Structure 1
Amino acid sequence: MSTSIANLNFLFNWRPYQAKVLENFSSHIDDNHFHIVAPPGSGKTILGIEIIKRISKKTLVLAPTLTIRNQWEDRLQNFFTTDCNFTQVSFNIKEPSDITFTTYQALHSFYKSFEDKEAYYNFFKKHGIEVLLLDEAHHLKNEWWKCLYNLKEQHIQTVVALTATPPYDSDNSEIQKYFKLCGEIDDEIVVPDLVKEHNLCPHQDLVFLSKPENQEINFIAEFRLKIALFVTDILKNTEFISFLKQHRFYAKTEENLEELYKFSDFFSSLLIFLHESGETIPIEKLEVLGFDKKETIEFPSITHEWIQILFQHLLVIDRKNLVEHETYLEILEKRLRELAVFSKNKVNLVGNELLYKSLSSSPSKLKSITTIVQQEQQNLQDDLRCVILSDYIRKEYLNCPQSEIKEIKKLGVVPIFHHVRVSTRDKTSLAILSGSLVVFHSSLIAKLGLIDNIQNYNYTPIKSDTEFVILTSTTASKLTIVEVITKLFEIGHIKILVGTKSLLGEGWDAPSINSLILASVVGSFVTSNQMRGRAIRIDNQNPHKVGLIWHLACIDTTSEFGGRDFEILARRFNAFLGINNNNNTVISNGIDRLQLPTNFIDEDIQQQNKKTLALSKNRNLIAQRWENAVNNGKGVIKELTFYNEKNKQYPQLKKLYYQDIVKYTVGEIIIGLSFFLPEFIIKNFNILLQKGIVYFLFVLSSALGLTFGYKIYKSVQLYLYFGLVHKKIDKMASAILESLNRLNHLTTPLNEIQIKTELLAKGNVSCTIHGTNRYESTLFIKALDELLQPINNPKYLLIKTNWFRKKLKLNNFFSVPEIFSARKKETEIFQTCWNKHLGKSKLVYTRTINGRKFLLKARLFHIHNVNNELTKKNIVWK
C-alpha cells in the first residue's frame, strides 16, 4: 500500500541545527519562498524531503546531476518509509507523479520541446505541480533560469531553494536573477554547527606562498615600467592635453550638464588629469561640482585607475560622439594595444587579468605542492590521504623525459604528478584520477585484484617511468574506474591522488581525505567551497580526523598587498568559515583569521611558510581550538568592520585615524604643555614680579595661543568633522535600527535587540547586532555598509550640517541606504531618525541637476569625505 506525501515520517532524530531550521520554517514560508544555505554533510536532502512533506503539494525536485537526483529518491525511501513503499515518485518529467525527481538539464530540454510556451506552463497546471525544489541552486545557468523563472511567474506557487554557497562572486545581474528566483536567504546552517555535532571534522585552511620565478618578475616589472613611462609621457603630451580641453564637457560645460552628471567619473578624471598635467582649472568648471570661489579645493592625485576611466570613456563609451577625432583616437588605441592594456573594449592599466594569469599559473606553485606533500607525509605517515586538485590534465607532458621535468612551466595534473613522483619517498602510493586519464603504480595491480577482476582492465606503462601504468577498463567491469581508484584510496594503498576539480570537486565522496591541496585557478566561490568540502567530512574509520586545506598563492613582490593572485584568494576566503590562528580562538570568515602578512614587500615569504608548515604538524591543537571555539559560542552573528588603516589616498588624515582623535590630540597637547609651561614660567618669572599676575596671565595666554592655537583649531575642526569615529558609527547603527522598526521591517521586539560597537586596534571599528533573526540582521548590516562605503550613485544623499560645520566649511556626505530610498516618505523617516541620533542634516534628491552636483562633489572631490574608507562584512561565531 502506498503512502501520501503528508504521511511521510522521518524515522530518526533531527540534529539540533536541523530542528532549529524546521522550527522557523512556518514563519519563512509565508512569502512562498524558502531559501536555505547549508554546507555539504549537513543533511540538506533530508531537510528538503521534510519540507516537501510539510507543504504537502505535488513537487518537482531539480538536481544538477543524475547521481544527486537518484540520491533524493534513495533518502526518501530509506529515511521516511519503513519498507521503501512510497510509489508516487517519478524520474520522468513527461510523466510526473506526486514527487518528480529530474535534472535542470532535462527540464531545459523539456522546455525547448514546446514551440508554444503557454503549453509548457499548462502542462504543470494540468498535473497540479505547485512546488519547485531547487537543489544545489548555485548551479543555475542563464538558460535554466529563464525556463524556471517563467514557470514560477506563470504557475508555481512555492519555491524551495537549497545550496551550499550562493553565487556571490557572479556579476550583479546574475546575483539579482538568482535571488529573484530563489528569494532572500531565510536560514543558514553553518560549519560550526556541524563541527559541534560531529557531522564535520575539525579543519584549518593554510595558505602557502611562493615568489614568481625570475622570468615572471621581469615580466611584471617591465609591464609596470612601461605603464609608468606611458603615464609620465601622456601627462606631458601637449597634443593629448589640447584634445582633452576640446572635449564638450570641458569646452562647453554648461551646455552639457545633464550628460556630464551622468558620466561624472569621466568628468572628474578629465579635471584631475588636467590639474596633474599643470593646467589651471577655471573656477566655473569647479562650480559645476558644487564648490564655491572661497573654497580651498584639493585635487586627488592622478592614479592608474583615474587614467583608466579617462581612456575607457574616450575609446569606448563616448567614441561615437568623437567622430571628428577618430584618427587621433586610433593612434591612442594602437598605443594602448601595444602596451597590452586595451582588449575586448576594456582599458586596464592596472594589468589585473594579464598579471593574474601569469601569477595564478606560476610554476613556482609546483614547488609549493611538493613541499606540502613532503611535510604531510612526515606529519601523517601511513594515515596520509592527500588529494591535489587542478584545472587541466596537460596530457602532453605525460611522457616527458626525467631530465626535462624541472623545465615544465605549466600547472596541471600531469606536471604535478611528475614533480611529486620525483620528489616523494614513496611513489608507489601516488596516482592520477581524471575523466580521461587514470595512472597508478604497477604494484597496485595485485591490490586492484582484491576489488575487481584484473582481467577487466588494460595496463599501459608510461614512457617517463615504466613503473606507472595508464589504467583503462573493458566493458566486462561492473565497477567504474573512479570507484576502483576511490576504494584503493580509501583503503590506503593510494595515499596521494592528483585529479581534476571537475571530476573530484563535487559529488565525489572519499571521507578519508585529510589533506587537500587546491591547485585550481579557474573557478569561483562556489567551486572553491565545494572542493573544500571534500576535506572536512567526517571519517567513521578515523574519528579523530583533522582536515587541512592548502591554498596556493604566488605573491607579486612588487605590490604592497601581494598582487592579484593573493587578492582573489583573499576574496574567496569570505565564503569560508573557520578558526583563526590566535590564542583567543574565534570562528569567522575571511583571510584575516590566518594572520598572514599585511605588507608583502618587506615580509620574508620563506619565514611565513615555515610558520605555516609548523602549524600543520599539530593537528591536535587545531582540534582543540575548534572544541574551545564551538563551545564558547552560541551561533553566528553578522559583523561589519570599518577599516581605518586602509585609507591610502589621504595620508594627512591617517595619523589621526589610527587612534581616537580626542585622545590623540589631548595627549599631544598635554605633552607639549608639560615641556612648555615650566620653561616659560622660569624665563618670564621677572614679569610676574614686576608687572603682576594679570599681565603675566595675558602674556602666557598669548604665548599659548601662538604655540598651540593652530593645533587646537585643527583638532577641533577634525573632531567636529569626524567626531569619535566608533561613537559615530554606533549612532548611525541606532538610526538604522530605529528606522527599520518604524518602517515595519522588524518582527523582533526592539527591546530584545542589542547593537554592540567596538573600537579595535588601529582605529578600526566593528559593529554587531544581537537578538534579531537572520533576515533582520542582513537588512541592518547591508544598510550600515551602504552608509559607510564610498558613495556610488544613491537616490538620496544626507549632508550633515550645523552652525560650526558651515563656519568651518565642513561637510559630511552619506548615502541613504537603498531600503529607505524607495519613497520620499520612507527617506524622511530615516532622516528624522538620523537627526535624532546624529544631529541636523540636509536631504538631497540626486536625480535632479542640482542633486547631481552634490552627488558629484560627494563622490569624487571632497577630500575629507569619511566614506572613502573601506568596510567588510563578516560572519562570526559568538
Structure 2
Amino acid sequence: MEEFDTHLEDDHLHVVAPPGSGKTVLGLEMVQRLDKKTLILAPTLTIRNQWYERMLECFVKDRNCIETSFSIKKPATLTFSTYQSLHSLFKNDLEYSSEKLLKFFQEAEIGTLVLDEAHHLKNEWWKPLFNLKKLQDCTLIALTATPPYDSEKNELKKYFDLCGPIDMEIGVPELVREGNLCPHQDYIHFSEPDAEQIQYIITYRENLMRFVETLKANKDFIAFIQKHPFYAETEAHLEEIYKNPERFSALLIYLNAAGATIPKTKVEFLGIKAEKVQFPSLSYEWVEALLTPFLIEEREYYEADEALLLHIEKQLRKIGAFDLKRINLTGEKSLYRKLAQSPSKLKSIVEIVKAESQNLQRGLRMVVLSDYIRKEFLEVQHNQSVSEINKLGVVPIFQFVRNAIKNDVDFPLRREKLGVLTGSLIILHNSVIDELSTLISAENFIQEILWETEFVIIKPNVQGSKKMVAAMTQLFETGHIEVLIGTKSLLGEGWDAPAINTLVLASFVGSFVMSNQMRGRAIRVHSLQPSKVANIWHIACVDPTSETGGADLELLYRRFGAFCGISLQGEPYIENGADRLKLLPETKKDVPLLNQKMMALATKRGEVMQRWKKAIGDGDVLVRELKVNYEKPQTHGQLKKLYFKDALRFLILELSAIFTVLLPELFFKNLTTLLAKGVLFFIYALVLGFAMILLPKTVKVVTLYLKYGRRDKELIKIAHALKTAMVAKGMILEAEQKVSIKVDAFEDGSLSCYLLGASAKEGILFVTYLQEIINPIENPRYIIAQSNWVRKKLGFSNYYSVPKVFGERKADAMVFYKAWKRYNGVAQFIFTRNTKGRKLLLKARFHSYQDTEKVTSRGALIWK
C-alpha cells in the first residue's frame, strides 16, 4: 500500500499473492481508497460471497451503510458478481454488443473494476472483459494467487493483455514472517507401477521405436519426401522455407536418418558449410514436426499420395500416437494416464495417513483431495478385496483407509474419525450423526447405511444442502473428523478450514493454478494453534523404464514451479521449484528407502518451523531470478568445468600439476634410463608422451573456450546490455548505477542472474526478457549474431533474440542493439522479415538444433 499511488499512475494494478494471504482484504482496501462505484468479479459464487463477508468483517459495522448488489443487472456502489454472470448479461441481455455493454456500465458509473483470479476464464468470457477494460476513467485491479504460466502461449498472452504486467508479487516468506501464513513443508511419497502397467509402458515404447525404424526404412515415404517442393525445388521455395524453417529442417533430418545422401547445396541453404554440418538425431519431436503437416494440416494437398499417408496414419493409431487430430509420439498422455491413476497410489495414501496419525495422534487434521468420486466402488462387499479397486478417487481412497483401519489393530486412526465430503456424496461414521444433528436439523437429511459397514451416507434435502459444507467443516475443525476425503472441485479452492495441518494431493491435475490453490487450504494460520506447521504430501508414480522417472514425475516438477517453499535438508533456503528437495534424482534407485526418509523428515515439524525462521532471517527480499544450465547428462562433470568456469584456467592448472608433481617424479623414477640413453632421448619421450595426453584435450578446451567463452561472464555482459536498454526505454525507473546485476554460480554448474535495487515489477520484466534472449531462437523480428575474428575463422557464431518488447519498432530494437554493442562488442544486427534475414534466422535455428549443449532456463523466485 506504500507504493499504491505510484502503481495507479497507469490506472492499473496487478498483484500476485499466495492463497490465504489476504488478497480479498487488500482488494477491498484499494477499492475503499479509490472511492468509486465498483464492480467485483469472482470465478465462483463461494468466492464472490467471501468478498461480501470480508467487507462486513473488516470494513463496515452496519451492512446498510453502503449500497451493495449481487445482481450484475442492477449495479450498486459495490457490486459483487461472477465472470459467468457478466457473460450471461453480455450474451442474453446485450446481444453480444460491445457498444451496449460499454454504455450499460458507463451509465452505471462504474469507476473501478476488480478481477479476482482471472485465470479461471473460459474462452467465451474474454470478450466482455476486454470491452469493460475500455471504460473511461476506470481503474482495473487484478488479483491472483498464480498467473497461468503453464497455459498455452495465446492463453497466457490474453491473461496479461487483460490484467497487465505484474506490479507487485507478495511472497510466501514475507507472509510467513508476518504471521499471515504458517510454516509448511512439501513431501513426496513415491509409488511404483504394477507389473501390468510396466508391461503396458514397455510395449508402448517398443511399438514406438518400431514405428520410427519402419518409417526410416520406408522407401516410398523417402521418395515422397524427396519430391516435396521444399527439397526438390529448394531455391524456388526459399520464401516459404524461411517462414517455416522447422519443417525444412525436419525434412533434412529425416532423410539423413534414413541414410539418403543429401546434396551439399541443400545444407548450404541453412547457411552452414556442408562439411561442418552435424544433423541432430531423428527424435520423436522431429518425427512429429515431419508428419503433422502431411497427415493433419495440409492433408488435402497430397491426394495422390493418400494411400501412403493413410497407411502411416493407421500405424500411428494402432500404437495410440494419433489422437484428436494430433500426433503425439512421446505418448505423455496415454502413459501419464496410466501412471497418474495408478492404484499403487492408494497404498501410498494409507501409509501417509498411518504415519501422520501416529505422529499427531488426536491433533491430526488431514484433508485428502482427489479429482473424481468413483461411486462405482461404494459397495465393496465383505467377500471382495480392496485390491480389486483399480482407479484413484475419493471412494477408493475411503475404502482403502477404512479397510486398513479394520484389518490393522494397531492402526492409529480411529474409524469414527474418517469422513467424506463432496458435492454429491457425504459419508460419516454412525457415531458422529448425533453431532451432525446439532448443526443441521435431522429433518434436513436422511441416512443410508453403507453396505455392511458402520458408515452412513448422508443425503441432505435442499435446505440441508445449503448448510452441509459448513457443518462438515465444523465437525472437522472440532476434531470429530480427523481425516476428510474430498474433491478438489469442492474443497480445492475457496474452502476455508484453518485447522488443516496435513494435506494429501491425490490429484493428477498439474496446472500451476490448481496446485497452488489446493496447497492454499493447508498453509493458512490458525488462531487456536499459533505453532501450527503444515505438511503437504504429493504422490508420484515412478516409471522405472524412463530415464527421467516418467510423465507422472515430470508433472510433479511442473506443479512445484507454482509455489515457494523451504529446502528439505542442508542449509535452509526458500525457493520455488522441485530443486529444493534435492532428492528427486534418487527416485529410481530405491523407492522404499526414499519414502522412509521422507516419512522420517515429516515427523520433525518443529525443525520445519526453525528452518523457516533461519532462512527468512538470512534474507530480506523475494527476488525473481533466471536459473540457467546446459544439459549434457553423460558428461556433466566435464561440462561444469568447461562451460561455467574458465576452460583455459583448468588447462593451466593441469600443466602446473604436471611440471610440479609428475615431472620430478618421472625424473627420479627414470634416472637409470636417463643416464643410459641420454638426456635428449628422455626429453623426446616426455614431449611425445605429453603431446599424446594433452593435445586432444588442449584442442578441445581451446575450441570450446573460443566458441563459448566463460558462460558466467557471457551472461553478465548480456544482462548488463539488457539492463541498460531497459533504463533507456524507461522500463527501469531507478538510475542505472543504482540497479546492480548479480550472477551466482553453483556447484552443479548452473547459474542464476537477477537484479538488485529494482522494483518487483522491474525484476520480473528483466528475467522475462533475459530468458527470451538466451533461449534457443524461435521466430523473433530481430536477432543478433555475436562473433569475433577468431570465431569467424573457426565458423562459430552465437545467436540471440532481441526481446519482443524491443522488436516491435526498429527504433526500440536499435536502443537494445546499441546497449548490446557497449558490453558485448561488435555484433551483427539482423532483421528477419526479409529474405536475407530469414535465411540467417534459419541458420540460427539450425545452429541451436546442432548444439549438443542445450540451454535450459527457468524463472525462479528465491528469498535473498
- Pairwise TM-score range, normalised by the shorter structure: over 0.9
Which deviates the most, 261-270 or 710-719? Answer: 710-719
From the superposition, tell whether residues 855 and 469 of structure 1 become closer, same or farther in structure 2 (CA, over 3 Å): same
CA deviation profile, 1:737-761 (whole Å, cap 9, x unmatched):
1121122221012222121112211
Alpha-carbon shift at residue 159 of structure 1 (Å): 1.0
Partner of 1:468: 455
User: Does the CA-based 8 Å contact 2:270-2:846 persist in structure 1?
Assistant: no
The one of 744, 747, 766 equivalent to 2:730 is 744
Q: 2:482 matched to which residue of 1?
A: 495
**1:269 match:** 250
The one-letter code sitting in structure 1 at the alignment partner of 2:238 is L
1:720 aligns with 2:697: no
> 1:129·1:156 contact (CA, 8 Å) conserved in 2?
no
Structure 1 counterpart of 2:6, from 23, 27, 31: 27
TM-superposed CA distance for 1:651, in Å, is 11
Contact 1:732/1:834 (8 A) holds in 2: yes
Match of 1:555 among 542, 564, 573: 542
Structure 1 range deviating more: 713-722 or 370-379: 713-722
Q: Distance in 1 between matches of 2:586 and 2:646?
A: 24
Instruction: Tell me which of 284, 289, 312 is aligned to 1:332.
Output: 312
5 Å matches for 1:676-715? 679=666, 708-715=694-701
SS at match of 1:783: helix
| Maintained 8 Å contact 1:90/1:96 | yes
Q: CA RMSD in A?
A: 2.6
| Contact kept? 2:631, 2:854, Cα under 8 Å | no
The equivalences for 1:332-411 within 5 A come to 332-402=312-382, 403-411=384-392
Task: Confirm whether residue 734 of structure 1 aligns to residue 756 of structure 2.
Answer: no
Q: Corresponding residue for 1:65?
A: 44
* CA displacement at 1:538 relative to structure 2: 1.2
Matches within 5 A, 1:770-849: 770-849=756-835
Q: 1:698 to 1:867 in 2, by over 3 A?
A: closer
Amino acid at match of 2:89: F
Contact 2:627 2:859 in 1 (8 A): yes
Aligned 1:136-285 pairs, distance under 5 A: 136-153=117-134, 155=136, 157-285=138-266
**Are 1:102 and 2:90 counterparts?**
no
Residue deviations 1:629-668 (CA, integer Å, cap 9, x gap): 2222212001111112456799996773475423433334
| In structure 1, C-alpha distance between the alignment counterparts of 2:694 and 2:183, rounded to whole Å | 57
Partner of 2:590: 604
The one-letter code of the counterpart of 1:309 is: A
Q: Distance in 1 between matches of 2:697 and 2:247?
A: 37
1:65-104 Cα offsets, whole Å, 9 max, x none, are: 3333333333334423344452332223233222222222
1:593-632 matched pairs, under 5 angstroms: 593-598=580-585, 600-601=587-588, 603-632=589-618
Residues 660 and 724 in structure 1, CA contact (< 8 A), matched pair in contact too? yes
CA distance in 1, matches of 2:711, 2:555: 30
Cα shift at 1:297: 1.6
Alignment pair present for 1:436 and 2:424:
yes
SS in 2 for 1:411: coil
Other structure's SS at 1:714 match: helix
* 1:496, distance to aligned residue in structure 2 (A): 0.9
| Percent of residue pairs bearing the same amino acid type | 44
Cα contact 2:510–2:558 (8 A) shared by 1: no
Deviates more, 1:397-406 or 1:551-560: 397-406
CA contact (8 A) 1:365 1:411 kept: yes
1:622–1:528 distance in 2 versus 1, CA, 3 Å: same
Out of 804, 819, 838, which is 1:852 matched to?
A: 838
With over 3 angstroms needed to count, the CA separation of the structure-2 counterparts of 1:466 and 1:158, relative to structure 1, is same
Partner of 1:19: none
Task: Report if aligned partners of 1:299, 1:861 keep a CA contact under 8 Å in 2.
Answer: no
Change (3 A) 1:705 1:500: closer
What code does the residue aligned with 1:627 have? K
| Equivalent-residue separation in structure 1 for 2:688 and 2:498 (angstroms) | 78
Return the letter of the residue paired with 1:428.
E
Q: Deviations over 1:835-878 (max 9, x none)?
A: 22222211122222222222222212467748731012110011
**Matches of 2:598 and 2:450 in 1, distance apart?**
35
Q: CA deviation at 1:800?
A: 1.3
What amino acid sits opposite 1:607 in the alignment? Answer: L
Structure 2 residue 512 is matched with structure 1 residue 525: yes
Q: 1:587 aligns with which of 574, 597, 602?
A: 574
Structure 2 letter corresponding to 1:721: K
- Answer with 665-674 or 208-217: which moved more: 665-674
Output the CA distance in 2 between the equivalents of 1:436 and 1:863. 52
CA distance in structure 2 between the partners assigned to 1:543 and 1:351 by the alignment? 47
> What's the CA shift for 1:615?
0.8
Provide the rounded CA distance (Å) in 1 between the counterparts of 2:672 and 2:717: 48
Counterpart residue identity of residue 370, structure 1 = V
Q: Is the 8 A contact 1:574 1:589 kept in 2?
A: yes
Alignment pair present for 1:292 and 2:273: yes
The question of whether the paired residues in 2 share the 8 Å contact of 1:640 and 1:766 is answered with: yes
User: Which is further off, 441-450 or 490-499?
Assistant: 441-450
Cα 1:417/1:290, change in 2 over 3 Å: same
Q: Distance in 2 between matches of 1:648 and 1:702?
A: 30
Q: Which amino acid aligns with 2:642?
A: L
- Normalising to structure 1: TM-score of the pair? 0.92
CA contact (8 A) 1:209 1:368 kept: yes
Residue range with higher mean Cα deviation, 112-121 or 572-581: 112-121
Tell me the SS of whatever aligns to 2:133: helix
Distance 1:178 1:195 in 2: 28
2:30 pairs with 48, 51, 60, which one? Answer: 51
Amino acid at match of 2:282: I
Alpha-carbon distance between aligned partners in 2 of 1:467 and 1:296, rounded to the nearest angstrom = 75
Structure 1 gap ranges (5+): 1-21
Shift of 1:237: 2.3
1:74 has 2:53 as partner: yes
Which is worse superposed, 272-281 or 209-218? 272-281
Question: 1:172 is matched by which residue type in structure 2?
Answer: K
Check conservation: 2:631, 2:856, Cα contact below 8 A: no
Which secondary structure does the structure 2 equivalent of 1:762 belong to? coil
Given the superposition, is the C-alpha separation of residues 322 and 266 from structure 1 closer, same or farther in structure 2, using an over 3 Å criterion?
same
Q: Deviations over 1:495-542 (max 9, x none)?
A: 111111111111221111111111112362211111111111111222
> In 2, are the aligned partners of 1:472 and 1:481 still within 8 Å (CA)?
no
- Counterparts of 1:544 and 1:122 in 2: how far apart (Å)? 53
What is the aligned length? Answer: 851
Please give the residue correspondences for 1:101-140 in structure 2 after superposition, counting only pairs within 5 Å.
101-112=80-91, 113-115=93-95, 116-140=97-121
Identify if the C-alpha distance between structure 1 residues 74 and 703 changes in structure 2 by more than 3 Å, giving closer, same or farther: closer
Consecutive unaligned residues of structure 2, counting only runs of 5 or more, are: 406-410
- Does the 8 A contact of 2:221 with 2:308 survive in 1? no
Give the TM-score normalised by structure 2: 0.93
Change (3 A) 1:336 1:489: same
CA distance in 2, matches of 1:237, 1:74: 67
Contact 2:645 2:711 in 1 (8 A): no
Query: Secondary structure, in 3 states, of the residue corresponding to 2:446?
Result: strand
State the Cα deviation string for residues 182-236 of structure 1 (Å, max 9, x = none): 1111112221122111121111111111111111100000000111122222222
The residue that corresponds to 2:408 in the other structure is: none
- Decide whether the 8 Å contact of 1:754 with 1:771 is kept in 2: yes
Q: Residue 199 of structure 1 aligns to a residue in which SS? A: coil
In structure 2, relative to structure 1, the CA distance for the partners of 1:171 and 1:863 (3 Å cut) is closer
